[in-house]
Amino acid sequence: MPDLTAYSQEFAQLLLNSDVQRAKEYSLELLDGGISPIDFFNDIFTVALTEIGDKFARLDIFLPELMDAAETAKTVSTEVVQPKLAEKNAGYNTIRGKIVLCSVKGDLHDIGKNMVKLMLQVNGFDVIDLGVDISPRDTIRKAKEEEADLIGLSSLMTTSMPYMKETVELRDEFGLKGKVKVIVGGAPITPEYSHQIGADAFGRDAIEGVRECLRLMESTK
């Protein structure tokens, strides 16, 4: 099999340039040129996204650039990669996990949560976005109903932070501890706070959030 690293780097550059048209053409060229959709997805698409995430973590690019690249990737995924996968590898599942996401009760701030949503989507998560000001009960009910693997909670205010704790407690009361993992984030949230309330993970930003969600999925396997 050819070394796909060079392709993933080229593809990452097209995503960063937010050149949707060219990124779609490039993907089609590779797919029509003999690279299987599964290899494209795992070794080019996903690797390119990881590289872009690393750039963000190293502060080489800003959040809006990351979002822009992610949006381009999302288009390539839905318009090119997914149809090819369906055509050639029907049944192959690119969904890495299902997550119920919200800004917790008492909080209306949702810009960060929406950014986390986009990054999770392009990284293969099925995201059920409940919106803002969501009570612990509604979150847990939805997670149960949807058989979600993960719950993502966002809080930007000291008044809403206690509802994160309540959501974790309610999850445990419902006997879902270990089954549905909780990840928390938002500007005032720290790893210590996350640990203290019994959450399973914390993400400082959207990229760390994706990494942690992937780690949680690995640990549930």
Partner 1 sequence: MPILDQWNLRLDADAILRGQGADPVILRTRRPNLVKIAEQAIGEALTRVYPIVLYERYPVGSILHNSIRLLNGKEITGKAISQYLSSSKEVLVMVCSIGAELEEYASQVMETDMVHGLALYGAGSAAVEALANAACQYFEEQAAQKNWQTTIPLSPGMIGWPIEVGQPQIFSLLDGEQAGVKLTESAIMLPMKSLSLILGLGEDLNQQGTPCDYCSMRDICKYRSDHAKQDA
Give contact residues for partner 1 (rule: CB under 8 A).
18, 62-65, 67-68, 70-71, 74, 105-108, 110-111, 114-115, 118, 132-133, 157-160, 187-188
Q: Give the Cα separation of 205 and 159 in Å (integer).
A: 21
DSSP string of 60-82, one letter each residue:
SS-HHHHHHHHHHHHHHIIIIIH
Q: In what order do the strands lie in the sheet with 181-185?
A: 125-134, 97-104, 150-154, 181-185, 201-202
* Three-state DSSP string of 89-105: CCCCCCCCEEEEEEEEC
Q: How far is the CB of 167 from ligand B12 (least distance, A)?
A: 11
Nearest Cα residue to 94 out of 83, 105, 103: 83
Single out the segment in contact with ligand B12 by CB under 6 A; choices: 45-53, 68-76, 137-145, 202-210.
202-210
Determine, following the binding rule CB under 6 A, whether residue 68 of this chain makes contact with ligand B12.
no
Q: Give the Cα separation of 84 and 77 in Å (integer).
A: 10
Q: Rank residues 16 and 35 by Cβ distance to ligand B12 and give the closer one.
A: 16
Q: Which does 118 bind (CB under 5 to 8 A by kind): partner 1, ligand B12, none?
A: partner 1
Q: Rank residues 25 and 68 by Cβ distance to partner 1 and give the closer one.
A: 68
Residue type, 134: I
φ/ψ of 152, rounded to 5, equals: -110, 125
**Interacting residues with ligand B12 between 169 and 198 (CB under 6 A):** 183-187
Q: Rank residues 37 and 152 by Cβ distance to ligand B12 and give the closer one.
A: 152
Binding ligand B12 by CB under 6 A: which of 5, 108, 195, 218? 108
**Interacting residues with ligand B12 between 109 and 138 (CB under 6 A):** 109-113, 115-116
Q: How far is the CB of 98 from ligand B12 (least distance, A)?
A: 14
3-class SS of residue 46: helix
Q: Give the Cα separation of 117 and 119 in Å (integer).
A: 6
**Interacting residue ranges for ligand B12, rule: CB under 6 A:** 63, 108-113, 115-116, 152-154, 156-158, 183-187, 203, 205-206, 209
